[in-house]
Amino acid sequence: MAPGRPAQSPHDGGGGNTNRKRKDAPTNPQHNGPNKRPRQHIDQRQKMRIARTLSTQTTSTAFQNGALDVSSFVKSRAYEIQALENGLQRSKKALNERAFQQVPKELRRRTASHNVKRVPKRLRVRAGREMAVDNTPTVTARRRKPSGHMRLRLETVKKLRALGAKRKAEKDKPKDATTTELLPKDVQPGTVTTAIRTRIPKVKKSLLATPPVPKAKFRKRQIHKSWLPTHLYHAKRARMTAPSAPIWRYAVPLTPTAKSYRPTHRASHDRGAVAWDMSYMSTIQLEGRESSVLGMLKAIGVAEEDLSGRKSNKWRAGVRVLDAFLYERESPHELIAPVTMVWCVYDGTATVMEKRKRKMFLRVHPSAFYQLWEEMLRLAKVAKPAVSVEDLRFEIGSIEITGPGATEALLGALWPSSMASTSNDASDAAITGMDVDATSDHPRSESVGETWQKLAGLTNPALLPQNALLGFNVQDPRLHHPPRTIALLKSDAEQHKLLEISASWPVDAAQKACDIFDRKARHSASTSLPSQKAVNRRKGLAAPGEYPQALPKDPRVPVLLYSSSNATPTNSSKSRQSTAHNGSWTLLAPWKCLQPIWYSLMYYPLSTGQQPRFGGLDQKRQLAFEAGKPWFPGDFPGTKAGWNWECEDRRRRESEWRKRPRGKRVSYEKVELGGGKKGEVGVGWACDWERLLNVPPVIEEAALAGIEDIMDVDGPAEKAGDGTTPAEKAVEDNTKPAEQEKAKENILPLQATPKPPQLSQLSARQALALLASPEAKLPPHINLTSALVTVRLTLLTRGVPHPCARIYRLPTNDPDLRRQWLALLPSNLPHKKQKGSKHALPRLPKDASAHVVQQRLAQSLLEPPRAGEDKYPACPAEEDLVGFITTGNYDLGEGQGTGIGSLLVDRVRDGGAESNVYIVRNAGTGLGRLARWEVA
Amino acid sequence: MVRIKHRYLLINILYPDPKSTSGRPATKPGDEVPYTVQFRRPSPDRMDGGVLTRLIRDGVAELFGDYGSGKVAGSLQVKYFSQATSTAIVRVSRDHYRLVWAALTFATRLPNPVGQPCVIQVVRVSGTIRKSEEEAIRRARLSIRQAEAAAKSSNAATAGLAAATPQLLSTEDDDVDMINGIEDPDDPRDIEEDLDDEG
């Protein structure tokens, strides 16, 4: 091949002319002198042109002497092919994206287009060059010219500083004069003669904890809320609660900035891990005689079988956690919240159970914290012998992590402290084992930390004994930062060993009193963490590629780790059993030690690639929803916390609705409900429990009495101020005056009040017992006419339920309509067993023969009416309204719409044959869908 | 912002008159040049993109007058011209590419410095230069394969060539309909495009 013109070398250089950030001003080529344009711009354009030109061959070079023969013919074509292909390649590169656009989605950073340092290292040089070409160099904050507000602030700071310095100087002067006079002559000023030891402050129990005092720089931003220990991490990467509207007095991450609905689902089910900083969960410590603590628990509604039954021996020994619903002690025994309870293993010598003084943690959602706290205080006062109650809210932080890679990531972050420094190990363990029946004969050979490290390769904590718990001390995670992928199981023998461990669970015998229950240990772990500088120095001294050696003086961070499986005992649908058994780990650690653990966790390189993701509140709810579990407080509208959440949601939805122009929002008053009825049932943007309770077809005396009670009650002033006006407007907008006048009277005062007092929530256990046998013994205080039960609904046909969707039972008073609805059941359809789309007849092949087509025609005539057709059955009447959907969406795990809602248990009980088939209608639409429900 | 739309015409120039063309068949008696090779002759050295531009401009002016040349002048550009293979890619604005096509079809002779009888085939019209380049590659591969096959059947002395170009040939397998070494110029896609433009 003899090229006539040499092929131009490809140019992969920086930004082309077309995709530059700063475009040149349009210039007239005639008047464009050589000096007007910087040299490099011409270079760019030339480069571009060169990249686009294709090299060619002249005839004389291709065909020697102009002779036509096959070999030169073929060579000339080959040359052309090469040239064109090169050209294609080069122009593709010349089309180039800028460096920051090449970064994969999860690595994109805000303002990466302005700041080279936000681009990954391998692209940094190129990005720098592009920015230089564009004349948009990176400006660091330090060198940026302060503008606008910032300048004002800086000036103020400068002035204040000058003032402060002046004042300090004045203050120092007279002081020096007086002290020198007062001091004896022989003592030099400034030297300390005696060390004055300050008194260690007595721990005040039964007092609400105060948030830790933040650094002065951040103090002003935490006046009305507290930051989580990992706030800075999240604030950069997630949408946080608005500064003016913290949730539960914390700045909580709501959702990551990057798109994460599907990635979260994948990370938690297939590959990866999702972690949350759950430090907002509140911890209450009870300390006292075991018998009196148990008595307190009994008073707030922990079941008898948990308190004394054989099944919960391990919980009482302190090697399992217990999830239970707690209730108020006084009538009406309102449900407070689901609470996790952990006993500390008893290390003392008292053998009589009653005499033991023990500690216990109660972990409760912050929205219900205050309610539980009050209740515990009240109970502790009357408990004999006394129980002390302590608020550990800002002392203990927590992380939750789920997904197949969760255990692996935790193993990479938590390195157990060496046991060398504690010599009395064996003796402790001997005592611990005594209460544990099943495992007392297990040879005690390893500590909890060692067992923990043997869990490498565990992909699902649900494999371990249910609610298993590990308490041990870990090293400062910063010593092992950045974390490296741990060695995973390779052989079958190792896999077998893991199974053996999970079956025998040696922790039961080896667990001793966990240090996290010990105030001193927590405190010393928090205060003795070395500075980052000291850690860096130690890391620098270590051999290259090695982590620094553990020293006996290293701080020992007490952690408590427990697994919880998402599987609810009530699960009955098969698909869930197979998919959603993903367990999760909860890690408790001292508040101040949480941040380094978090960083180690987040940067752990998973063996399956990538790193653990982090989630916000939305992800938490999403995963709970996909597991079919209700999320507290949102899915428990019968509790106080849940009611507040619902009110908050209402307000949000209403303002969103109002924001839209009239033509573009759902006009709830025009919704056709079928049978000539018009207008949404209740308020369209709310799960209108008041309407459900108070405007039934048969007005109950009790309910009416309830209303009057509520009208007398003075709600908190600010609630009334916020609530009434929008509600009033809403009612005016929505209702036809005549029949709804009464409803208005009823609804208005209710919206202002915190919660209708008769509304109560049943726990899953109670609900199941009640539904199994109508005469089941329930605590007598439960008012069945207004008790709610949380259920999970799966739509049987198409459709996706949304929050606020109305749930109806099958029509009770209209047998014809009921028959129409039942005809829609997929199990009643003739072609149910056919493969293909579950929503319609399978498609015929194009060349189907005539008789097949006719058959299809007949089939389609028998086909039940589709949604939207005239024959589609209308929604049942309001008397059949039984509840609302509180969470609903398309479920990625199930591949169809599901929802979690609450039903009035009284209207659910007498269902008859098709008792678990209900109808769901989204708020603002007239279309009902069949759904099957089960207690969640 | 609206993008300026172009059409790219992939062109083959054929030289039907063997006497006046630059590539003469090899004169040795044993070297019979196959017909496929003779059919696609190289262009003379003086022929280049500028000459082609002039040809088109003159042709459009002749056929469509000032109107046509005015319409076409702004966007006409020869993107690629290879003398050795007599292939060219011409860019025109989308609205007026048919004027250029007509001019190319009616051209019978290259303009003056060359002054040779010729036939110009438009083998592909595409919206991006990339597609026309790909088509050119495909056609080049095809003609190599045909030339080699022809050479093999007549004892050809091109034994070393097969080794030099296998990777170029191996990828493409589909065949254009050939009658006596002449491609069917009416690619169905082109026809569709024509219809679209009229409609």
A218 touches chain B (CB under 8 A): no
Q: Give the Cα separation of B60 and B66 in Å (integer).
A: 9
pLDDT at A714 over 70: no
CA distance A29 to chain B (A): 17
| Residues A484, A605 contacting (CB under 8 angstroms) | yes
| Residues B44, A59 contacting (CB under 8 angstroms) | yes
CA distance A138 to chain B (A): 29
Mutation target vs B (from A19, A77, A79; most B CBs, 10 A cutoff) = A77
Q: Where are the domains of chain A?
A: 82-139, 282-394, 699-752, 760-837+852-935
Q: Give the Cα separation of A70 and A854 in Å (integer).
A: 64
Q: Could you tell me which residues are beta bridge partners of residue A416?
A: A474
pLDDT at B179 over 60: no
A406-410, A412-416, A612-616, B165-169, range with the lowest pLDDT: B165-169
**Would you give the DSSP letter of residue B180?**
T
Class of domain A282-394: alpha beta
Closest CA in chain B for residue A57 = B84
Q: pTM for this structure?
A: 0.68
Query: pLDDT class for B135, splitting at 50, 70, 90?
Result: very high
Q: What is the pLDDT of residue A362?
A: 94
Chain B neighbors of A84, CB-CB under 8 A: 133-134, 136-137, 140
Largest Cα separation within chain B, whole Å, is 63
Tell me whether residues A77 and B144 touch, CB distance under 8 A: yes
- Residue A355 identity: K
Closest CA in chain B for residue A60 = B45
pLDDT at A933 over 70: yes
**Would you give the DSSP letter of residue A23?**
P
Q: Identify which has the larger pLDDT, A10 or A449.
A: A449
What ipTM did this prediction achieve?
0.80
Tell me whether residues A77 and B148 touch, CB distance under 8 A: no
A73 touches chain B (CB under 8 A): yes
Neighbours of A790 (CB within 10 A): 26
Chain B neighbors of A80, CB-CB under 8 A: 82, 84-85, 87, 136-137, 140
Residue labelled with tokens 């001294």? A541
Query: pLDDT class for B25, splitting at 50, 70, 90?
Result: low
Mutation target vs B (from A59, A63, A64; most B CBs, 10 A cutoff) = A59
Instruction: Of A282, A554, A545, give the one whose Cα is nearest residue A393.
Output: A282
Mutation target vs A (from B85, B110, B134; most A CBs, 10 A cutoff) = B85
Tell me whether residues A81 and B141 touch, CB distance under 8 A: yes
Same fold, A282-394 and A760-837+852-935: no
| Residues A350, A356 contacting (CB under 8 angstroms) | yes
Q: Give the Cα separation of A691 and A878 in Å (integer).
A: 10
Chain A neighbors of B158, CB-CB under 8 A: 70-71, 74
Q: Identify which has the larger pLDDT, A272 or B28.
A: A272
Helices (H), A183-301: 216-219, 231-237, 261-269, 290-299
Tell me whether residues A56 and B83 touch, CB distance under 8 A: yes
Pairing of strands A282-289, A677-678: unpaired
A656 touches chain B (CB under 8 A): no
The mean predicted confidence, pLDDT, of chain A is: 80
Closest CA in chain B for residue A86 = B133
Fold classified for A760-837+852-935: Elongation Factor Tu (Ef-tu); domain 3 (2.40.30)
Q: What is the pLDDT of residue B128?
A: 92
Q: What is the pLDDT of residue B19?
A: 67
Instruction: Of B125, B122, B86, B87, give the one whose Cα is nearest residue B105.
Output: B122
Closest CA in chain A for residue B79 = A53
Instruction: Of B51, B47, B50, B55, give the one whose Cα is nearest residue B83.
Output: B47
Contacts of A69 (CB under 8 A, 6+ apart): A63, B26, B31, B33, B37
A67 touches chain B (CB under 8 A): yes
B37 touches chain A (CB under 8 A): yes
Residue labelled with tokens 């429990």? A689
Tell me whether residues A59 and B25 touch, CB distance under 8 A: no
A84 touches chain B (CB under 8 A): yes
Residue of B84, B134, B136 lying closest to A76 (CB–CB): B84
Q: Give the Cα separation of B172 and B181 in Å (integer).
A: 18
- Residue A777, judged by CB atoms within 10 A of its CB (0-12, 13-18, 19+), counts as exposed
pLDDT at A762 over 60: yes
What is the rounded average pLDDT of the residues A877-898?
91
Q: What is the pLDDT of residue A711?
A: 38
pLDDT at A391 over 70: yes
- Using a pLDDT cut of 70, give the percent of chain A over it: 78
Tell me whether residues B147 and A74 touch, CB distance under 8 A: yes
Tell me whether residues A60 and B45 touch, CB distance under 8 A: yes
Q: What is the pLDDT of residue A830?
A: 56
B135 touches chain A (CB under 8 A): no
SS3 content of chain A, % helix, strand, coil (to 5): 40, 15, 45
Q: Give the Cα separation of A590 and A279 in Å (integer).
A: 10
Q: Where are the beta strands (DSSP E) in chain B?
A: 6-14, 24-25, 77-82, 87-93, 119-126, 178-179, 182-183
Q: What is the pLDDT of residue A115?
A: 85
Instruction: Of A719, A748, A732, give the one whose Cα is nearest residue A643.
Output: A719
Q: What is the pLDDT of residue A678?
A: 86
Note the pLDDT tens digit of each residue in B73-102.
Answer: 999 999 999 999 999 999 999 999 999 999
CA distance B156 to chain A (A): 8
Task: Determine the angle formed by the axes of helices A717-734 and A737-752, rounding to 10 degrees.
Answer: 160
| Residues A807, A875 contacting (CB under 8 angstroms) | no
Q: Where are the beta strands (DSSP E) in A675-825?
A: 677-678, 760-762, 787-795, 806-809
Note the pLDDT tens digit of each residue in A676-694.
Answer: 888 888 888 999 888 888 7
Q: What is the pLDDT of residue B197?
A: 46
